[in-house]
Amino acid sequence: MDALPLALCNEVLQPLGFERQCALAAALGYQGLEVAPFTLAADPLAISDGEARNFARVAADHGLAITGLHWLLVAPAGLSIVSSEAAVRRRTTAAMERLVELCAAMGGRYLVHGSPKQRSVPAGDSRDAARERALECFAQAARAAGRCGVTYCVEPLAPAETDFINTVAEGIQIVDAIGSPAFRTMLDCSAAGQAEAEPVDALIRRWWPTGKLAHVQLNDPNRRAPGQGTMRFAPILAALREVGYRGVLAVEPFDYVPDGPGCAARAIGYLRGVMESMHG
């Protein structure tokens, strides 16, 4: 298959500074970085538009694009889209809107809203009420994304991480409720391998034609990089080719074996090998 652009989730290369992350990712053969804002500043919301554009220039100097943002609500502390406290939700929505602006300033095309702790239903709270609060926050993020020309993606995550939005079908329910072309869902292979009844390639064939998925993150259900577990990625890449996927493939391991740089190197070697075998 034609090689799709591979982006590395930049937290894999911490504690290296951003410029060294770019140099190493480029040397390994990645075309982009998918950036976790908390890696750029203790308070990502304090990053100015000029600073955001400078991050894009640093990446470009190494031949990379900042493809998008993920792990959005880790910092600053205390954010939640489901909190019963209106003030907390206002701060959270303002953060989501600002991150949309920063993504656009960095040249990114999408944001991935995972952030499981900041969306899990509070103990003793009503699930329906929490969902309505989340929808209000997502609706405002979708409006900001539409204004800025980016796509805001809600990420289904495994039940071990959160009790809210665990499957692609549940993500699509949220997408339908928001009803904005700038708001979609996505597929994280590790989460899907843990939470879904169908294999990932079947999920792609079932849901991609709806137009409601916008992005893919590649990782194994054991939370390591592609090629470091039992999930087979050739069928996944074949399904993406069948549905005409033309986006970025983001490598997002959580368990770095043997370490961040080594994990990133093994992942791209494995994925390029799979792609080359399919092309042949």
Q: To which residue do tokens 């899990």 refer?
A: 120
Burial class of residue 29 (count of CB atoms within 10 Å of its CB; 0-12, 13-18, 19+): middle
Q: What angle is formed at CA 118 by the lines to CA 70 and CA 213, rounded to 5 degrees?
A: 45
Report strand pairing: 183-188 vs 213-218.
parallel
Backbone angles phi, psi at 244, to 5 degrees: 80, 30
What is the per-residue pLDDT across 123-140, written as a single tens digit (0 to 9) for each?
999 999 999 999 999 999
What is the per-residue pLDDT across 27-66, written as a single tens digit (0 to 9) for each?
999 999 999 999 999 999 999 999 999 999 999 999 999 9
The answer to whether the CB of 220 falls within 8 A of the CB of 190 is yes
> How many Cβ atoms from other residues are within 10 Å of residue 222's Cβ?
17
The answer to whether residue 249 scores a pLDDT higher than 90 is yes
The answer to whether the CB of 76 falls within 8 A of the CB of 95 is yes
What is the per-residue pLDDT across 61-78, written as a single tens digit (0 to 9) for each?
999 999 999 999 999 999
DSSP state of 71: S
Task: Output the pLDDT for position 279.
Answer: 77
**Region for 275 from its dihedrals, namely left if φ exceeds 0, alpha if ψ lies in -120 to 50, beta otherwise:** alpha
Task: Output the pLDDT for position 3.
Answer: 72
Q: What's the CA gap between 43 and 37, in Å, rounded?
A: 8
What is the per-residue pLDDT across 75-99, written as a single tens digit (0 to 9) for each?
999 999 999 999 999 999 999 999 9
Distance of CA 259 to the CA centre of its chain: 21
**How high is the mean pLDDT of the chain?**
97
Report the percentage of the chain scoring pLDDT > 70: 99
Please, which residues have CB within 8 angstroms of residue 118's CB and are 6 or more apart in sequence? 73, 74, 79, 80, 81, 92
Please, which residues have CB within 8 angstroms of residue 274's CB and are 6 or more apart in sequence? 233, 234, 237
pTM over 0.95: yes
Residue 162 tokens read as: 């959160």
Q: Which residues pair with 7 in a beta bridge?
A: 32, 250
What is the per-residue pLDDT across 213-233, written as a single tens digit (0 to 9) for each?
999 999 999 999 999 999 999
Model confidence at 2, in pLDDT bands (50, 70, 90)?
Answer: low
What is the per-residue pLDDT across 149-176, written as a single tens digit (0 to 9) for each?
999 999 999 999 999 999 999 999 999 9
Task: Output the pLDDT for position 268.
Answer: 98
Task: Output the pLDDT for position 1.
Answer: 46
The answer to whether the CB of 183 falls within 8 A of the CB of 142 is yes
Give me the helix-helix angle, 49-61 and 18-28, nearest 10°: 30
Q: What angle is formed at CA 19 by the lines to CA 16 and CA 20, rounded to 5 degrees?
A: 45
Q: What's the CA gap between 124 and 105, in Å, rounded?
A: 40
Model confidence at 178, in pLDDT bands (50, 70, 90)?
Answer: very high
